[in-house]
Amino acid sequence: MYYVAVDDNGVSGPRIGCGDSLVATTTAPVTYRDQVGPSINALLANKSRDVGLSGLINALYQSSLTYLGGELNGSTITIWLSGQFMLGGVCDIPRVKGQLEYTAMAASGATSAQVYVNGRPIDEVLSLK
């Protein structure tokens, strides 16, 4: 699962908006046929802002989202969610998007991800326009 290192500026992982980084974390070993569903469900189930004492944050902690399914097509993983985002400000937009996309890619082995929320692309859902 991926969490956010605030103001890390890409030092600890892929750089995302507002000068943050995405950082991969590990969990206890669990084997599933479908790694994407359990990974996204575990990410969405975490209702704590802080990830232990790691200094990482979970920008999704206030959101009420449900994983509906996923599909790997070539090197792209597509996931479908339902529910609502609850964000703490504009910097949470790239944070939640990055957490979802990178967690889905890591779980599936894909190199790109598409996320749909309530049938709409995540960029449209999170757009400030």
- Looking at residue 19, what DSSP letter applies? G
What residues pair up with 24 in beta bridges, in sequence order?
Answer: 2
**Within 10 Å of residue 7's Cβ, how many Cβ atoms?**
11
Say how many CA atoms lie within 13 Å of 61 toward its Cβ.
12
Q: Considering the chain, what is the average pLDDT of its residues?
A: 93
pLDDT-derived band at 1, boundaries 50, 70, 90: confident
Using the predicted structure, report yes or no on whether residue 129 has a pLDDT greater than 70. Answer: no
Tokens 């703490």 correspond to what residue? 88
Cα(24)–Cα(42) distance, rounded to whole angstroms? Answer: 14
pLDDT at 32: 55
pLDDT (average), residues 86-95:
96
Q: Name the pTM for this structure.
A: 0.86
Q: How would you list the strands of the sheet with 120-121, edge to edge? A: 64-73, 76-84, 112-117, 120-121
Question: Tens of pLDDT along 70-90?
Answer: 999 999 999 999 999 999 999
